[in-house]
Amino acid sequence: MDLQNELKQKAAAAALEYVKEGEYLGVGTGSTVSFFITELATSGKRVKGCVSSSEATTRQLLAYGIPVCDLNDIVGTIPVYVDGCDEIDGNFCMIKGGGGALTREKILAEASDMYVCIADASKEVKQLGKFPLPLEVIPMAVSSVCRAMEELGGHPTVRDMVTDNGNNIVDVHGLQIKEPTRLEAAINQIPGVVTCGIFGKRGADVLLIGTPEGVRTLKPKKGFFSGRQK
């Protein structure tokens, strides 16, 4: 296993501590989460059911015999949501969607009391935007959304994939994301955008960063924005 995967695995293993036995658990998508699912399956911890953010995650959970349930069947919030990120800044705002699962991930993050973000050290940034910003876009609006993103100073490319929701992904390169929450709201207003990959309104509550020296646990300082906005 290469170093980056080792660090992802360390962060994933550290997230087990936050799993509440006998409760619902939200599960994100991606290679770091895939390590987490393996850790969960072998830990002996039993949850009431997992709410999954993608078909890939559902397949892996079911392969381990972990029950998967529908968000619509849950009354109230999910206590804990475990997911990765593509970039995270000092205010716990993130870019997500490298795997195209951003919309379901955002729905689950919003429905959860605590977002536990697991990542290797390469994901920490001072300012978001080096990682191209993914947008999930309704197919008929791809061209118009791309033009709107060019007006914002970005360079959009259309990804060769269809999301679990049957939509396209537009990756926007070259954006200077100085105010994540403001840009998130502005992009989400463009007709045809299902959602953008900025997680600013709902950032992470705990960040577990895998480093060669061990796992660093970071939480927003008091007064810093984070958490589910009610």
Ligand X SMILES: O=C[C@H](O)[C@H](O)[C@H](O)COP(=O)(O)O
Binding site for ligand X (CB under 6 A): 28-32, 83-86, 96-102, 105
| Choice between 19 and 101, CB closer to ligand X | 101
Residue closest to 91 by CA, chosen among 228, 218, 229, 230? 218
Give the burial string for 186-223 (b: 16+ CB within 10 Å, else e).
ebeebebbbbbbbbbbbbbbbbbbbeeeebeeeebeee
The minimum distance between CB 108 and ligand X, in angstroms, equals 11
The minimum distance between CB 194 and ligand X, in angstroms, equals 13
Active-site residue, 21 included? no
Residue whose token pair is 């910003």: 133
| Choice between 82 and 142, CB closer to ligand X | 82
153 is in an annotated binding site: no
Given 105, 110, 136, 151, which residue is catalytic?
105
Q: How far is CA 130 from CA 133, 156, 172, 177, 187, in A?
A: 8, 13, 10, 9, 17
| Choice between 4 and 144, CB closer to ligand X | 4
The minimum distance between CB 103 and ligand X, in angstroms, equals 9
Query: Structure tokens of 178?
Result: 């100085």
Running DSSP on this structure, what letter comes out for residue 16?
Answer: G
30 is in an annotated binding site: yes
List the binding residues for substrate: 29-32, 83-86, 96-99, 123
Question: Active-site positions?
Answer: 105
